[in-house]
Structure 1
Amino acid sequence: MAQPTTEPARTASAPPPQHPDAAPAAGGPEQAAEAATGLDMLLVDAARGPLRRLVPPAGTALRFGSALARKPDVVARRGGELARELGKVVAGRSELAPGKKDKRFTDPAWSGNPLLKRAMQAHLAAARVAWELIEDADLDWQDDERIRFTATNLVDALAPSNVPVVNPLSLKAVIDTGGASAFKGLRRMVKDLANPPRVPTMVEPDAFTVGEDLAVTPGAVVFRTDVFELIQYRPTTETVRALPLVMVPPTINKFYIADMAPGRSIVEHYVSSGQQVFMMSWRNPDERHADWDLDTYGQAVLDAMDAVERITGQEQVALQAFCSGGIITAMVLAHLAATGRQDRVRAVSYAVTVLDWDRAGTMSALMDEEAVQAATERSRKKGYLDGAQLAEVFAWLRPNDLVWNYWVNNYLQGKPPPNFDILFWNADTTRMTAGLHRGFIEVALKNALTRPGASRMLGSPVDLSAVTVDSYVTAGIADHICPWQSCYRSTQLLGGESRFILSTNGHIASLVNPPGNPKSTFQVAESTPPDPDRWLQQAETVKGSWWPDFMSWLGNRSGEEIPAPRELGGNGLEVLAEAPGTYVFDK
């Protein structure tokens, strides 16, 4: 989202130009998962209500209108193009067709029924002109993102596929079920609208069971504070790497994004590769914990490191952090560097983590002063920011994938959504404390991590250039929450050597990317020049998952192999509960 990409060619048969970072129209739970899960910081929330999605800020709307008013010839030409195309549509001579990845109009009736075909083509024609007018306006980055955000929601909402009496899937379901589908769909709609996040359910709440279907890698809680539980996973190899790995998950959603179903679990793969693995599992905070801030969570990382060093007898650890957990981890490393203790960390990995917020996408563009004040005031009053409200914001960032796709399936057809583990995890939201929410907003709004001393962690000024620990940075080329170029810029902020890995997948699939998928690839280069596009030009494509590559990279920094511990815990830290622990079940 930070760097506009090339739009599709605008031929007669091409799909209507979309927001440069918009995903293809919904085509299944995998695509929805890419859009559903994203940057846990959630810098703005639904504080200003749903109309915000359909109406751009007044200043942006005024500048957009003024820009077009200065180009009356362009507006007239676009209007003429639309009129001519609509004339072709009415006459049955239009060649407009949806893109191959646009699943909204795949039913044969959309091309075989003359009325439905005309409705579809009229929508595509209007959408194409809308995107062309936005291009013609040539707004600055922030206004452009805001207008595209509004236009995406309006255009997607007005698609004829969303209309019950028009969508052939809806009509067929009514006929096939004798009208039962309509009643089922209505019940689902009423239930969804009655509770946050007030968008169609993406997965049934009983589709999976944590500890039985998900988060089942054997291990135990060996340390617990008010803020987190520390899980140690049971080795499955006779020897293990001496250097233990401490994993720092996001601060919204549960830790088991790294421990999905067997065969799709990052933790499972690491353990089977001979890695000692410890996982932090954050507590789901409530109003009692409103004051927990960046320092609170930074100290928690240090507490986890202390416990791991005590259990393993090692003086160094490796860290791997995800998304907002990566922001906290980077700041902790800066604190260690400032206090002369950086040698406690031998290596660090940042997964889909943005440290440089310059033009970091739609969420950044939407972060005007009013939104920031509304968001922070709302969380201050409640003591936390509710994950359900934040899920609503992200759903409307990708309405085709996360709203209208399920609107058709759940409501128009009266069907239950398909079961998909990542979407179940995504729905298992947690709260963010008011203090942490405020801290993340301040860091992002000031882009503070790019300037030495502009932020502090545990009393120390944060200077990421002083962090000389070797880093392994991963991103997804299709990630619209943490754009890969923004993730790449971490390699320029951090001292030490960096290895940057670019997966062909999006935000979550770039993480949950097990070996064995023939479609998975990643790109890597020997150096990390300042320009991400130059890096991309010199990068080579490697087939498969990056998980084995990371294990190899970490193995080169893990020292000797030692006999695997026979018991979990040790040195006074005993087993408190079997994995996945107790905090993961907090609602």
Structure 2
Amino acid sequence: MTHNDTRTPDALLHSAIGRVTGGLSPTALATAYLDWAMHLAGSPTKQGDLLAKAQTEALRLMTGGKRSEERNGRDSRFSDPRWNTLPFAAYRDTFLAQQRWWNAATTHLAGVDPKHERIVNFIARQMLDMAAPSNFAITNPTVLSRTWDEHGENLLRGAQNWIQDFNQLIGQRRRPHCEDFCVGRDIAVTPGEVVFRNRLIELIRYTPRSDTVRPEPILIVPAWIMKYYVLDLSPENSLVRYLCEQGFEVFIISWKNPDADDADLTMQDYVDLGVRAAIKKITRGDKDARLHAVGYCLGGTLLSIAAAAMARDGDDRFATLSLLASQVDFSEPGEIGLFINESQVAFLEDIMATQGYLDADQMAGAFRLLRSNDLIWSRVIRHYLLGERTQMNDLMAWNADSTRMPAKMHSEYLRHLFLHNDLAKGMFQVDDAPVALSDIRAPIFCVATTKDHIAPWRSVYRLMLLTDTDVTFVLTNGGHNGGILSEPGHEGRHYFRIHKTEGDAYRSAGAWIETAKAHDGSWWPVWTRWLAEKSGAPVAPRRTNVPHIAAAPGHYVFG
């Protein structure tokens, strides 16, 4: 099915349902459930195993048997020592026993489609997490203690917080306190200027903060589903500022936040009006010019597509290619892949048909479910039961500054990359001809993060298998954003590193990580040294005659 821009009855119905389900397709969930339920009904052996497990768990609860590591507090929800006292220990252990039973019930059932199994297991975990005793004031010792100490004022504050959040939700306004981190005043403050603008991007240039500069500038391509300034937050954690201090001239793309008028923009448009337009402006059309290209998240996927097309066409202007938390192979996308199947994509296409784009909030629910304990239930407890507010920081303010995705491009992305994995297969087309990652000859620096729920590191690592060039792969601790924002001096940072030259034998992710040695500190200095090694000798800053359109952060970032 292709994107349909007419408001058919199907599209209108699915759009209405999507507003209730957070953009998830009920059909996809029902299909997975029926597959599991029917196979369970036809498996007396599995039923017997589950009955035996239920009896074992019940006996353990009654006799207070030896607790597992999970019962000993590995689950952060039950880290308060008061959970070890009655009756709260009984609430906890009963819940954890149910959790283990349902995990056994929804896994290792012969005949069930593996993806359906993962969906049912995931939904079972979500349903159980909703009923966790930590989520209710009467069964949470921490909340009960706070309520006693404050004579219930915490619950009153929690009710006020709920009303405020509900009004924010129905009014579709930004989260409270984002005013403390104003774009251009508190965040995205590295001095720069917009030097180019078209209907899709603004190109921002940042001058090096050193006496000499590297002759090759850096082009950064962020994801189109995020505001660019995640890489230029506060001065102390700004990757843009750090690169300028290391003697690099930096350009970054600021994507326009699309609206209904942009519904027909395609992936080809994002290559042409985005990456190619920026390269042309930076190199001034000089085919012999060289630059370092950096892509973050989906921006790295887009950059890989553009780089493969350039390599196919004999364009070697990329001196290096750096990919940060970026997937090029979507065969193992992690749990986010549970929300991407034919039924789900068709459902999203109908939602987008009624408005011309997909609002970020319509996908945010799926991302929050991936870390529901951290992003949903822990906040429910803190905000509404304990009456506390999470202190806003620059990253949270950026995360609240959501963007949209144009209908046609997003449909192509989901189908050609997530569903069909065309890029990894050498079937993705640019200019009506396929591109292959194996054509890329520029050296690559690839970074993944250990706790990435958007681009799982083992999926990112598959770049090592799909390319035939020199690749340095770095695995750093942290999440999708926090691991990338790993400025020098950030406590608790470490990374692992592997290097593959052209012709080296492939090592699987599992085999490598078993013997990999951890290095303390940030990966930023390792990367900038690598960039310096691939650059020409430092020269005097170049003079530019590029017209000044606007001061950074530009206009599109406020869209």
Instruction: Specify the SS of the correspondent of 1:239.
Output: coil
Select which of 438, 449, 469 maps to 2:423. Answer: 449
Q: What is the CA distance between 1:54 and its match in structure 2?
A: 8.8
Q: Tell me which amino acid in the other structure corresponds to 1:425.
A: W
Q: Percent of pairs identical after alignment? A: 29
Select which of 312, 315, 325 maps to 2:299. Answer: 325
Distance in 2 of aligned mates of 1:150 and 1:59: 13
Change (3 A) 1:535 1:109: closer
Are 1:269 and 2:242 matched, yes or no?
A: yes
Are 1:462 and 2:435 matched, yes or no?
A: yes
Are 1:143 and 2:116 matched, yes or no?
A: yes
Q: Match for residue 340 of structure 1?
A: 314
Deviations along 1:372-397, whole A, 9 cap, x unmatched? 11011111221111011211211112
Q: Match for residue 130 of structure 1?
A: 102
Instruction: Specify the SS of the correspondent of 1:71.
Output: helix
Instruction: Specify the SS of the correspondent of 1:432.
Output: strand
Distance in 1 of aligned mates of 2:282 and 2:434: 26
Preserved CA contact (<8 Å) 2:33 2:116? no
Q: Match for residue 556 of structure 1?
A: 533
Instruction: Specify the SS of the correspondent of 2:364.
Output: helix
Preserved CA contact (<8 Å) 1:197 1:392? no
Distance in 1 of aligned mates of 2:108 and 2:188: 50
Preserved CA contact (<8 Å) 1:192 1:198? no
Preserved CA contact (<8 Å) 1:525 1:538? no
Change (3 A) 1:500 1:150: same
Instruction: Specify the SS of the correspondent of 2:495.
Output: strand
Q: Calculate the aligned-residue CA RMSD, in Å.
A: 2.8
Deviations along 1:250-288, whole A, 9 cap, x unmatched? 111211111121221111211111111111111111111
Change (3 A) 1:104 1:534: closer
Distance in 1 of aligned mates of 2:363 and 2:169: 9
Q: Tell me which amino acid in the other structure corresponds to 2:106.
A: I
Change (3 A) 1:270 1:63: farther
Aligned length: 531
Change (3 A) 1:476 1:171: same
Deviations along 1:490-547, whole A, 9 cap, x unmatched? 1222232111111122222220111113421111123372522233245332221111
Deviations along 1:328-356, whole A, 9 cap, x unmatched? 11111122123222x12111111111111
Q: Match for residue 23 of structure 2?
A: 47
Are 1:544 and 2:521 matched, yes or no?
A: yes
Q: Tell me which amino acid in the other structure corresponds to 1:548.
A: P
Q: Match for residue 119 of structure 1?
A: 91
| TM superposition score normalised by structure 2 | 0.88
More displaced stretch, 529-538 vs 253-262: 529-538
Q: Match for residue 406 of structure 2?
A: 433
Distance in 2 of aligned mates of 1:553 and 1:358: 30
Q: Match for residue 366 of structure 2?
A: 393
Preserved CA contact (<8 Å) 1:82 1:125? yes
More displaced stretch, 134-143 vs 487-496: 134-143
Q: What is the CA distance between 1:206 and its match in structure 2?
A: 2.7
Q: Match for residue 267 of structure 2?
A: 294
Distance in 2 of aligned mates of 1:63 and 1:469: 51
Change (3 A) 1:416 1:340: same
Distance in 2 of aligned mates of 1:313 and 1:274: 23
More displaced stretch, 326-335 vs 240-249: 326-335
Preserved CA contact (<8 Å) 1:197 1:389? no
Deviations along 1:221-263, whole A, 9 cap, x unmatched? 1111111111111221000110110000011121111112122
Change (3 A) 1:285 1:366: closer
Q: Match for residue 337 of structure 2?
A: 364
Change (3 A) 1:68 1:322: farther
Q: Tell me which amino acid in the other structure corresponds to 1:328.
A: L
Distance in 1 of aligned mates of 2:382 and 2:317: 51
Q: What is the CA distance between 1:186 and its match in structure 2?
A: 2.4
Q: Match for residue 132 of structure 2?
A: 159
Q: What is the CA distance between 1:431 and its match in structure 2?
A: 0.4
Deviations along 1:405-462, whole A, 9 cap, x unmatched? 100011112222222322221111100111221111122211101222x221233322
Q: Tell me which amino acid in the other structure corresponds to 1:130.
A: W
Instruction: Specify the SS of the correspondent of 1:223.
Output: strand
Q: Tell me which amino acid in the other structure corresponds to 1:554.
A: L
Higher helix share: 2
More displaced stretch, 459-468 vs 282-291: 459-468
Change (3 A) 1:382 1:431: same
Change (3 A) 1:475 1:66: farther
Q: Match for residue 531 of structure 1?
A: 508
More displaced stretch, 576-585 vs 303-312: 303-312
Gaps of 5+ in 1: 1-44
Preserved CA contact (<8 Å) 2:342 2:419? no
Distance in 2 of aligned mates of 1:216 and 1:370: 43
Q: Tell me which amino acid in the other structure corresponds to 1:170.
A: V
| TM superposition score normalised by structure 1 | 0.84
- In the TM superposition, 1:75-224 aligns within 5 A as 75-88=50-63, 95=67, 98=71, 100-112=73-85, 114-137=86-109, 140-193=113-166, 204-224=177-197
Change (3 A) 1:464 1:67: farther
Q: Match for residue 207 of structure 2?
A: 234
Q: RCO (CA 8 Å, sep 6+): is it higher in 1 or 2? A: 1
Preserved CA contact (<8 Å) 2:28 2:343? no
Instruction: Specify the SS of the correspondent of 2:454.
Output: coil
Distance in 2 of aligned mates of 1:481 and 1:128: 26
Distance in 2 of aligned mates of 1:446 and 1:197: 36
Q: Match for residue 508 of structure 1?
A: 481
Distance in 2 of aligned mates of 1:186 and 1:53: 35
Gaps of 5+ in 2: 1-20
Are 1:305 and 2:282 matched, yes or no?
A: no
Change (3 A) 1:231 1:197: farther
Preserved CA contact (<8 Å) 1:60 1:147? no
Preserved CA contact (<8 Å) 1:202 1:406? no
Select which of 242, 250, 253 maps to 1:280. Answer: 253
Change (3 A) 1:498 1:64: farther
